[in-house]
Amino acid sequence: MIRRQPQDANFGYNIKMPGTARNASGVGRFPGVTFSNGDAAPEKEKVMNEKEPEEGGCRQWLRRICPCCCRQKSTSYEVTPGAHNEVDAKEEEKPTPLPEPALPQTGDKEMEELQLAVRSVDLHSSKCGQNRTEHHTDQYHGDELIVRRGQTFQMEIDLSRPFNENTDKLHLELKTGPLPLVSKGTHVIIPLVDDLEDECWEAKIVEQNGNRIKLSVNSPAKALIGKYSIAVATRGPEEEVVTMYDPNKVIYMLFNPWREEDIVYMDSDEERNEYVLNDTGRIYYGTEKQIGARTWNFGQFDKDILEACIYILEKSDVLPSGRGNPVNVVRVISAMINSPDDLGVLEGNWSGNYVGGTSPTAWSGSVDILRKYYHGGGAPVKYGQCWVFSGVTTTVLRCLGIPARSVTNFQSAHDTDVSLTTDVYFDENMEPIDYLNSDSVWNFHVWNDCWMARPDLPPGMGGWQAVDSTPQETSQGTFRCGPASVTAIRTGQVYLKHDTPFVFAEVRPCSEEERIAVETASRYGTKPHVYSSPVAEDVSVEVKLEGEGPRMGADAQLTIVVTNLSAQPRSTNLHSQVAVMYYTGVLKSTVKKDKLPVELMPNEVKTINWVLPFQHYQDQLVDQAALMLTVSGRVSETKQVLASQTSFRLRTPDINIKPEGEAVVGKEMSAKITFTNPLPSTLRNVVLRVEGLGLRDLHPIQIGDVGRHSTVTVTEHFIPSLPGSRKLVAALDCKQLTQVHGVADIQVTENL
């Protein structure tokens, strides 16, 4: 076969769409050839001269192929020659000539048989087929063709007759976006070639059996991701038009972390399994000394999720021609997961009032959120906070083929003045100055890391990139953040894009190397001299928690440790203040204040027991049950300022889930779900939300009121739909008690 690169989509000929009629001029010089809808082409009445009428080119071709079907016809009707074909009135009247009979139907049939047309297209798109198995897309719901760029896939075409490589022409056309253009890469023309080459859109016939041909189709590793329509163009040797066949099928093209040439390539099978293929995970929350974890159903392969992710891209401001660069895609996903300026997926709410929506702590996964957004016509889903934004971002990125993970940062700073420091101001009496304390330290903050090379940055900046979908500050006029190179953040290179200074200010250095990076980065901030003059200290104050910390419904007990490091006595007045706090570090209200004089002997360590009674906080708590204890003072002898802030949370009970019965695909089983109210008061309007990928869709169970210290047990029935290791997750939705959840592992077997 000769390698044929078509000049354009139509081989330089007119397009003939099946099922549409051509006019007479479209038939060209071939009289008697039928229209595409089967009607004969009308001919003008001819005058018969002594010279035989000129035989049409099509008929001459048919005579050479099959003489028996094209014998010379004769007629018993003659017409007298004459300039105007007039008949002498005196001559005997002759019969009126009858029209020349049409070509025999057998000829029409044979003409149709000689045309090259597509009868059907098989994309080999079944979940268990070769394409989806080789492309690691066999877990996606549905039977559409889902492939990864930079890798070949197979398809078969059924033609009206055997394909002749020497005389027939065929190519494929893929289109994506509202206005496909070849120049933008959104209209792709795929020619037939002898040998496939890397980094090209090409197709090769790898098998021919009668009228069927099997193609191996290759895409470049920089192909645009998204949803493509496909069409097949054909033309036989004697056809002047190209026939386009639309099978009404689509192809989903994803990023390919298995392909070394792809920017998102990840070379570890273990890491690809975790950060691309794993559809469940854990998201951490709490405080640095009281870390909690909850199971999150990412569900990137579930029904409607791929369609929802493509829908998000289509709603964004990134053009289809920009969807080949993962930096662009990640940046737009960061913007589209939140809703303040682009009607994205989730509406944030940190008020504690979630009327008209779902409390952020009640979500256990991304699937229901993305389905609501997709089927709701793009109306933002209510409500989300940082771990919800992060969980949904992980789902979308993994679904599109970008390795991603949710990352929790404890004691996460929110720098509002680009000083790259977090500042707390006290007055002369060591009381916090609230109106100046605009910087905040979140108990925890959850964002994302995604994996990719960064050819747009200096060498060495590839790998994990920080991206944050929680709407905190704008970047280039839009609420988004990243991708910022984690390497750049760790080394203090805050001048590299995107949004590296903001992410840098959120994290706290631990190692000496990271502290040096802080000093390096601070030179680029608005307060470059903060680290220039170290201060000597000989008295320290520290707050400690015992074990897992205080529990909800009981008095909170902490320990304040004051240490004198000098050989001289020291004295101070310690001010303690505890306030209810949103997990974002914003204080709601102060619930207790104390003032305590402390006298220290040389090198003495003094321990002070601090207690917050349940009655002080029972009606004051907000989401996450978080509080902030601020301890401050001034050493009388040296005027050294003492200041310490410690956030802690009141631990909530877990939900216990006990599976019952045999876990088999298609067979009903159940699980007993038990919860105990830890409060000495009644919980009102309790809802239990249960879901599990491959087990059951989200199911809210109305519990109602739960009395003080009462235990509730419900039995949930469901039918597993997928085999393998599955997780059944339950979360409590109750205004008085948040962040209560549980999980059970269930091993589901095939129904043999």
Catalytic residue positions, numbered: 386, 445, 468
- Left if phi > 0, otherwise alpha if psi is -120 to 50, otherwise beta: which for 19? left
What pairs with residue 581 in β-bridges?
A: 587, 626
- Strand positions, DSSP E, 334-458: 346-348, 381-384, 404-414, 440-452
DSSP label of 377: T
Question: What is the gyration radius of the CA atoms in the chain, in angstroms?
Answer: 37
Task: Tell me how far apart the alpha carbons of residues 665 and 746 are, in angstroms, rounded to a whole number.
Answer: 12
DSSP label of 745: E
Query: Which residue has tokens 């995604």?
Result: 450
Task: Tell me how far apart the alpha carbons of residues 163 and 171 are, in angstroms, rounded to a whole number.
Answer: 13
Chain mean position to CA 23 = 48
Classify burial at 712, counting beta carbons within 10 Å of its beta carbon; exposed 0-12, middle 13-18, buried 19 or more.
middle
Classify burial at 520, counting beta carbons within 10 Å of its beta carbon; exposed 0-12, middle 13-18, buried 19 or more.
middle
Classify burial at 100, counting beta carbons within 10 Å of its beta carbon; exposed 0-12, middle 13-18, buried 19 or more.
middle
- Amino acid (one-letter) located at 400: L
- Left if phi > 0, otherwise alpha if psi is -120 to 50, otherwise beta: which for 447? beta
Residues 481, 472 contacting (CB under 8 angstroms): yes
Residues 735, 685 contacting (CB under 8 angstroms): yes
Chain mean position to CA 268 = 21
State both tokens at 314: 């289509």
Q: What are phi and psi of 628, to 5 degrees?
A: -125, 120
State both tokens at 371: 């389905």
CB-CB neighbours of 525 under 10 Å:
18
CB-CB neighbours of 416 under 10 Å:
14
What pairs with residue 746 in β-bridges?
A: 726
Task: Tell me how far apart the alpha carbons of residues 724 and 51 are, in angstroms, rounded to a whole number.
Answer: 83
- Strand positions, DSSP E, 8-134: 14-16, 118-122
The DSSP-derived string for 141-207 is SSSSEEEETTS-EEEEEEESS---TTT-EEEEEEE-SSS--GGGTSEEEEEB-SS--TTS-EEEEEE
Q: Distances in Å between the alpha carbon of 33 and those of 56, 113, 160?
A: 10, 14, 19
Query: Which residue has tokens 């060209």?
Result: 28
